[in-house]
Structure 1
Amino acid sequence: PSDWVDFYNIYGPTECTVNVSSFIVRDATPLIPIGRPNSNVRLYVLDKSDRLVPVGACGELCISGPQVFREYLNNPEKTAKTVVPNPLSDDPGHRRLYRTGDVVRLLPDGNVDYVGRRDGMVKVRGFRIELGEVEAAVRSFEGIKDATVQAFDAPSGGKLIAAYVVSDGKVDVKALGDFIASTKPAYMVPAVTMQLDEIPMTVNGKVDRRKLPAPAIDFGKVTPPSTDLQKRIFKIASDVLGTDGFGIETDLFQAGLTSISSIRLNTLLSEEFGIPFRSKDVKDNCTVEKLESFVLNSAPAKEYPVQDDYPLTKSQEGVFVECMSMPGSTVYNIPILVKCDDGIDTARLKAAIVKAVAAHPFVTTELFMSDSGDIRMRGKGLREFSEDEIEEVTADSLESVKPDLVQPFQLMGSRLFRFKIIHADGEYLLADLHHIISDGASTHILMDAISRAYAGEELEPERFSGFEAALKEEDERKGEALNVARKYYEDLLSGRDRDFLLKGDRRGPAPASDGELLAEGSVPAEELCRYCDGAGITVNAMMCSAFGHVLAAFNGNDHSVFATVYNGRSDSRIADSISMYVKTLPVVCDVSDLSMPPLRLCEAMGRQLVDSMSNDLYSFAEASRELGAKADVLFVYQGEGLSMDSFCGLPSEPVPLSLSEVKEPILFQVISDHGKIRYRVEYDKERYTPELIGSLVRAFDRALSEFMSSSKLKEVSLADESTEEAYRRLNDTDSPYDASVTALDRFRKNAKERPDATAVVHKGRSMTYGELGSAAGRIAGYVRSKGIGRNEFVAVLVHRSPGMVFAALGIEMAGAAYQPLDPTYPEERLLFMMRDAGARLLIADRALRGLVRSYDGDILYTDEIGSLPEADEFPSPAPEDAFVILYTSGTT
């Protein structure tokens, strides 16, 4: 963009006269919407039940207004599918609605954002892929001049991606694949890359898919199997893939193996060799050569004896790895700040803290690296915690020290907890524990222990601590239970998309205040609990179902996958133990059957959550690494949260702490607090605006209410008054005009008032309104003499010249409609178009007659127009009469 020109991003399908919305591009930002509707055009974003979706949610773009086309010629079935009665308006001019098939969303700022085509999204190896995203990655590779990416059926079933590229030099396919893999998941790397001289295009500037060569997988160097074992594996793999054109070093996924066919490969290999095969095994050993090595070396994992130290659990390992990637971060601190009663006894409080820690010695553990390189927890020889380690801070006000209260922990060889007592404008206690030794429930247990010790109660020491829990997990993971758990999650996630992170809407810098949204729900907690009790479902199942439904809607999908947590305390021995027991679980919410009652969805969700908890031996970190599970969207129902209305037997209140970082782009928390449902959403403020997150929260709150009152999912509406108001503002486009005045009327008016004014300029030649009107009038008289009139078509085949203008205008003056023909089309296509439209006359340049040799109808050559007689002015066609007929790339 510059100071002297406006740069517009314009959107519009051919069916709506090309242009229905626009956006002025002011800045070079990743998010460039298609803008707002033009005058007298209305845009709607609808779900599969033809209801408005909330702001920020994905849906199909539907258009109403005078620009909507009349019909697909000779194709009433397609017309009936795409042009439907408008369920949202009975206003004149808006009673017909065009379904575009484009997936969009309405942004909080009132602009519409284009997401993609419904038919441009494909599933490859169980993942949903927008082909345009892959194409953009291919085009950014050095040396690529042009490219297109298409999806084709794979021989083994499913889809494969083929990239067609144009370059002046030979494209290094492996380097291109490595380049894409450096920024995109492996499943987005094209299985086939073919270099062409040029990308075939239709006359409308679209890729002509029919002219693309069939994708041929180039396996590169093909080394045939040589050993008996290789031959047996190769035979099984070739049967699954439907081809034997690969070698023992070929990546089987590049050869067409999908998530579904890999399950079949696992089964056949297991039957053949009597070894349990998992999806991970094939993924990690994805060539015949590597599978041979895997079969030969399959053996039980080595067991390590436990003596004075303990292993980390898999959940702890996940936290450790993330912490090491973010040195100096406080993202995994779990701090709680309490304003105590002014009468609290500081010395007594210190003693109580020491007693609480002594009753839960696990918190004093320290991490170290063993000689074998493993990260372990010390169990013996730990430093005793004393009152001297409790820091006291004196300040004029809490606000003056609050920003510095939460500090990073030194992860190795140091305390992983700290306490501070602050004397300021009141008495405060900070308890801060690292997540690797604690969780939300553990913090509650510790604060309760401090209160009881302050009251003089003798605390029972833990009998089953985080140390024993780690040993228990280690033992269980040595048995068949781990394989069972892994298989459960493989089945749960099979064929499901993984990426459900909302597309961002932030276009400028984020205010410092953004990043957290607090809201109160409209459904009383008691009413929700009463409904769930009566229905025989848990509140958590209800919450997860409603959130999954909303997340699917915001992504324009028929299912959603997100993460949730549960306390992990299924063993009664750790009910009052302190450690990191909380587990993250992937959740799949399938809302594809819109006739399903919401209650049935909640029941299925409840069973899934129970099954997932039973299989939590397989950690989320493993599910993420091996199965592609993500915690980008984390949903947490906390029930009754940690209440700090009383501490140490005295009145108290919690003090919010604003941490500088969030662990996930979206952390959606639901808390039941004193009979109210409250929402707390932490989000990536560089990606999202509070308005978009607010829309997500309102949609979820609405879903809870709708789930209790709707008999089917298709009856669940996520739109509230704010949604309807947003669309009212969007579609406030009415601009009155005289619909009886046609384009032809306007031309005639100009020709009479300004006959000498320039009307057309082309390559140094110009025509005045008078000259243009005279030529068009002669054509109109000729067309009428042939008995051609309203709603009949005349074809025009001319070079790019003023001839197209006066021919089209003359046909309109006769009351007929014109059909433009492109001289670059092949004869068979031109003839098909003329026959299909029933064109009764052809106006053509004499030099182009050879393009339609088989046409035997009437022809008016452009060099004959000047000798035609002048004609009387005919009545203008009515607005509802046919004006033009266009054939797009999909119709010829």
Structure 2
Amino acid sequence: MEEILSDLYRLGIRIRVASGRIHVIAPAGSISPELRAQLQRHREELTELFQRAAAKRHTGTLSQDLAHLHDPFPLTDIQNSYWVGRRTPVARDGVDALVYFEFESLSPDLGRLTASLRRVIDQHEMLRAVVRPDGRQHILSQVPPYEIGLLDLRDLPPRDRWRKLADAKAELLRGLPRPLDTWPLFEVRAYMLDTDVVRLHVQISLLIADAASILTLFADWRRFFLDPGWEPPRPPVSYRDVVLDRLSQREGKAYVRARNYWFGRLTSLPPPPSIPVIEHLGRLGQVDFARRRGGLASELWNQLSTIAREQGLTPSVVILTAFSEILQRWSAQSSFSLTLTLFDRLRVHPRIDRIVGDFTSISLLEVGPESGTASFIEKANRLQRQIMADLENLEFGGIEVLRERARGKAAVPGQVTMPIVFTSLLGLGDRGDLAEVTEFLGKQVNGASQTPQIWIDHQVLEERGRLIVNWDTVDGLFPAGLLDDMFAAYQKRLHLLASDVSAWSGPDSGVPVPTWQMAERERANDTAATTPQQDLLDPILRWVRDRPDNIAVIYAEGSRTYGQLGADAARLAHRLKTLGASRDELVAVVVHKGYEQVVAVLGVLMSSAAYIPIDPQWPEARRSFLLVESAARIVVTSVQLREALT
């Protein structure tokens, strides 16, 4: 074993273990057939060796705390972003972070499905979890027996039957059917369409389970369904134990090192790809996600994977590089940042993979810049080196990086996220692929996922030997047809890389952006016009000056004229200036809708400051979060609300 490790070090080959699987990162041509055979023979030993090393780097001692299992505990960074993202000042309607599956089955045994699902709920405590209004999660000690909802549609005319089914799907995609503090944070419904045909809808909140955990849940549900006598051991520690343990590592050496690494890159990280959009996310109203599904047949997928390994690249990096090429072409940017979704669980226990929960973290990946003559292999190698450097500094997560960018000089107005996400599930095959672990539910006929503040979520997975790529997208943001053209070009690029090895070494000839899109881009960029020499306040102040007796605001208690509104706002502006309000400063406005809110907003603007609106009806934890994140020194509120804020 020492000889193998010595050879790896000498050749510049790096090994990383994630989700119980070995990932080999090697320079092109550095792995000989003999070394590859050795790695294959000693795979289990290497996996155990690197997992033990990871456990030694973990400075805490994780043990099960059954006495406090049902005490509330904090949300992780990613869970908190999901929770806050349900409704924010950025978007009129929040988005529940969830996954949705739809299966069609012939004569399913709903009684057995229900009984086996109850066993899963009993086995995995996060299926009994809720999120309290104060922003903490809570594993309930007892829950009532879960019932799969059944709706019989057989007596309806075919058109009404399918309309009813579509409405049911749309309802589950709009969000969770109940508040987060009400159990359960998942939903399973059955719809009888014909004598022996049933559609099964499954919705799971990502607050309680990540992608790897969802595979575990389906696998256990299947095992309980097929083998009612199965008695698996309980998970060794709770998700609560893991979350609290990870929080305790926040001030350790690894965390400080990672924080310094990312602080050094805050101002150099490029913005996200500027793909043409026709609408702002916050003005869409209802945010609807659509799915585009493609991939490669088994033969082509095997060819692509083989070429990748021969070049010392992981298949995930190859697919990511192809995706980045498409984004570069449609955004006309050589450099941008993407969000990578990671499922790397700290090896704090040998059976950590049996624990269900949201272990997701994110990392921000810088793509490019590349020269115009760079080959695909050169691009992929650069991306892989960047990913490996970033993965050494995961202790300071991507959510924290985004938070620090928003606070500092790197902040870009309106840009608070990296809204294009790449998620690879290729390393989770030891749990079984999705098609295998869900076949007992029938044939999957639909699926979707959604998360707050995301425009495009690219997922990569393997099903029955085939490569599957999904794009879950907010289509309402983009010009009609744009995403279809991008996805078609992406599919063409993957097929070319899988079928023609010369496509890896030559410069990217690329798939041209369609002519209609180039023409639309030119029209959109033709913005030559006279810029109005006024700001937001000017039109209102003109009405205050020229028409002071006209009605400006009508509200429940009466009405106010422009003259009265201007005078009240001016008094507030004077007070704010005496408190130090000035340009480039945020002032929080925490006032119920009505006349006072109008005065507050105008008063802040007249003081030269900017305002951040915070709804008094939001949960206290969410209000506090926004007040802290905005760094607002001054808060405009009412006498009635002041006590709640102090």
1:429 corresponds to 2:200: yes
Q: Which residue of 1 aligns with 2:126?
A: 362
Amino acid at match of 1:310: F
Q: Which residue of 2 aligns with 1:200?
A: none
- Offset, 1:420: 2.6
Amino acid at match of 1:554: W
Residues 439, 402 of structure 1: alpha-carbon distance in 2 compared, 3 angstrom cutoff: farther
Q: Percent identity?
A: 15
Q: Is the contact made by 2:130 and 2:181 (CA closer than 8 Å) also made in structure 1?
A: yes
1:483 corresponds to 2:242: no
Give the whole-Å Cα distance in 1 for the aligned partners of 2:481 and 2:438: 41
Q: Which residue of 1 aligns with 2:224?
A: 453
Amino acid at match of 1:635: F
- Offset, 1:477: 0.9
- Offset, 1:475: 0.9
Residues 427, 329 of structure 1: alpha-carbon distance in 2 compared, 3 angstrom cutoff: farther
Instruction: Please list the CA deviations of residues 379-421 of structure 1 after superposition, one character each: whole Å capped at 9, or x if unmatched.
Output: 4x5223414x433332224652442351523112543223333
Residues 655, 703 of structure 1: alpha-carbon distance in 2 compared, 3 angstrom cutoff: closer
Give the whole-Å Cα distance in 2 for the aligned partners of 1:660 and 1:442: 17
Question: What secondary structure, in the 3-state scheme, does the structure 1 residue paired with 2:86 have?
Answer: helix
Q: Pick the aligned partner of 1:375 from 97, 114, 135.
A: 135
| Higher relative contact order structure (alpha carbons within 8 Å, sequence separation ≥ 6) | 2
Q: Is the contact made by 1:594 and 1:712 (CA closer than 8 Å) also made in structure 2?
A: no
Give the whole-Å Cα distance in 1 for the aligned partners of 2:144 and 2:100: 19
Q: Which residue of 2 aligns with 1:384?
A: 143
Q: Pick the aligned partner of 1:322 from 74, 85, 94.
A: 85
Q: Which residue of 2 aligns with 1:565?
A: 341
Q: Which residue of 2 aligns with 1:580?
A: 358
Give the whole-Å Cα distance in 1 for the aligned partners of 2:508 and 2:165: 48
1:689 corresponds to 2:479: yes
Give the whole-Å Cα distance in 1 for the aligned partners of 2:501 and 2:182: 55
Amino acid at match of 1:429: L
Question: What secondary structure, in the 3-state scheme, does the structure 2 residue paired with 1:545 have?
Answer: helix
Instruction: Please list the CA deviations of residues 632-651 of structure 1 after superposition, one character each: whole Å capped at 9, or x if unmatched.
Output: 11223344898565668747
- Offset, 1:458: 1.8
Give the whole-Å Cα distance in 1 for the aligned partners of 2:129 and 2:313: 40
Q: Pick the aligned partner of 1:631 from 411, 418, 422.
A: 418
Q: Is the contact made by 1:357 and 1:385 (CA closer than 8 Å) also made in structure 2?
A: no
Residues 468, 573 of structure 1: alpha-carbon distance in 2 compared, 3 angstrom cutoff: farther
Give the structure with the larger helix fraction: 2
Q: Which residue of 1 aligns with 2:29?
A: none
Q: Pick the aligned partner of 2:324 from 517, 523, 548.
A: 548
- Offset, 1:562: 1.2
Question: What pairs up with 1:105-120 in 2 under 5 angstroms?
Answer: none
Instruction: Please list the CA deviations of residues 300-335 of structure 1 after superposition, one character each: whole Å capped at 9, or x if unmatched.
Output: xxxxx9953322211111111112437985531222
Give the whole-Å Cα distance in 2 for the aligned partners of 1:327 and 1:334: 22
Give the whole-Å Cα distance in 2 for the aligned partners of 1:439 and 1:564: 14
Q: Pick the aligned partner of 1:524 from 285, 297, 300.
A: 300
Q: Is the contact made by 2:273 and 2:337 (CA closer than 8 Å) also made in structure 1?
A: yes
Residues 588, 334 of structure 1: alpha-carbon distance in 2 compared, 3 angstrom cutoff: same
Q: Is the contact made by 2:417 and 2:453 (CA closer than 8 Å) also made in structure 1?
A: no
Equivalenced residue count is 417
Give the whole-Å Cα distance in 1 for the aligned partners of 2:438 and 2:485: 40
Question: What pairs up with 1:57-76 in 2 under 5 angstroms?
Answer: none
Q: Pick the aligned partner of 2:153 from 392, 395, 400.
A: 395
Amino acid at match of 1:349: L
Question: What pairs up with 1:160-171 in 2 under 5 angstroms?
Answer: none
Q: Which residue of 1 aligns with 2:554?
A: none
Instruction: Please list the CA deviations of residues 133-184 of structure 1 after superposition, one character each: whole Å capped at 9, or x if unmatched.
Output: xxxxxxxxxxxxxxxxxxxxxxxxxxxxxxxxxxxxxxxxxxxxxxxxxxxx
Question: What secondary structure, in the 3-state scheme, does the structure 1 residue paired with 2:217 have?
Answer: helix
1:667 corresponds to 2:427: no
Question: What pairs up with 1:114-153 in 2 under 5 angstroms?
Answer: none
Question: What secondary structure, in the 3-state scheme, does the structure 2 residue paired with 1:686 have?
Answer: helix
Q: Is the contact made by 1:644 and 1:652 (CA closer than 8 Å) also made in structure 2?
A: no
Give the whole-Å Cα distance in 1 for the aligned partners of 2:234 and 2:261: 37
- Offset, 1:423: 3.1
Normalising by structure 1, we get a TM-score of 0.42
1:500 corresponds to 2:306: no
Gaps of 5+ in 2: 1-64, 155-160, 407-415, 522-646
Amino acid at match of 2:215: H
Give the whole-Å Cα distance in 2 for the aligned partners of 1:532 and 1:714: 16
Q: Which residue of 1 aligns with 2:507?
A: 715
- Offset, 1:673: 4.2
Residues 647, 711 of structure 1: alpha-carbon distance in 2 compared, 3 angstrom cutoff: closer
Residues 330, 448 of structure 1: alpha-carbon distance in 2 compared, 3 angstrom cutoff: farther
Give the whole-Å Cα distance in 2 for the aligned partners of 1:643 and 1:560: 32
Q: Is the contact made by 1:337 and 1:428 (CA closer than 8 Å) also made in structure 2?
A: yes
Amino acid at match of 1:696: M
Give the whole-Å Cα distance in 1 for the aligned partners of 2:392 and 2:238: 20
Give the whole-Å Cα distance in 1 for the aligned partners of 2:314 and 2:189: 38
Amino acid at match of 1:383: Q
- Offset, 1:677: 4.1
Q: For the pair shown, which has the larger CA radius of gyration, 1 or 2?
A: 1
Residues 658, 638 of structure 1: alpha-carbon distance in 2 compared, 3 angstrom cutoff: closer
Residues 500, 557 of structure 1: alpha-carbon distance in 2 compared, 3 angstrom cutoff: same
Give the whole-Å Cα distance in 1 for the aligned partners of 2:191 and 2:266: 48
- Offset, 1:449: 0.7
Q: Is the contact made by 1:315 and 1:621 (CA closer than 8 Å) also made in structure 2?
A: yes
Question: What secondary structure, in the 3-state scheme, does the structure 2 residue paired with 1:366 have?
Answer: strand
Q: Is the contact made by 1:501 and 1:632 (CA closer than 8 Å) also made in structure 2?
A: no
RMSD over aligned CA atoms reads: 4.0
Q: Which residue of 2 aligns with 1:273?
A: none
Residues 661, 577 of structure 1: alpha-carbon distance in 2 compared, 3 angstrom cutoff: closer
Q: Which residue of 2 aligns with 1:340?
A: 105
Q: Which residue of 2 aligns with 1:800?
A: none
Q: Pick the aligned partner of 1:622 from 382, 394, 400.
A: 400
Question: What secondary structure, in the 3-state scheme, does the structure 1 residue paired with 2:251 have?
Answer: coil
- Offset, 1:613: 3.5
Q: Is the contact made by 1:702 and 1:718 (CA closer than 8 Å) also made in structure 2?
A: no
1:349 corresponds to 2:125: no
Give the whole-Å Cα distance in 2 for the aligned partners of 1:623 and 1:727: 34
Give the whole-Å Cα distance in 1 for the aligned partners of 2:135 and 2:516: 56
- Offset, 1:626: 1.2
Residues 364, 614 of structure 1: alpha-carbon distance in 2 compared, 3 angstrom cutoff: farther
Question: What secondary structure, in the 3-state scheme, does the structure 1 residue paired with 2:247 have?
Answer: helix
Residues 394, 676 of structure 1: alpha-carbon distance in 2 compared, 3 angstrom cutoff: same
Give the whole-Å Cα distance in 1 for the aligned partners of 2:180 and 2:274: 30
Q: Is the contact made by 1:493 and 1:588 (CA closer than 8 Å) also made in structure 2?
A: no
Q: Which residue of 1 aligns with 2:379?
A: 601
Amino acid at match of 2:77: K
Amino acid at match of 1:391: G
Give the whole-Å Cα distance in 1 for the aligned partners of 2:517 and 2:331: 19
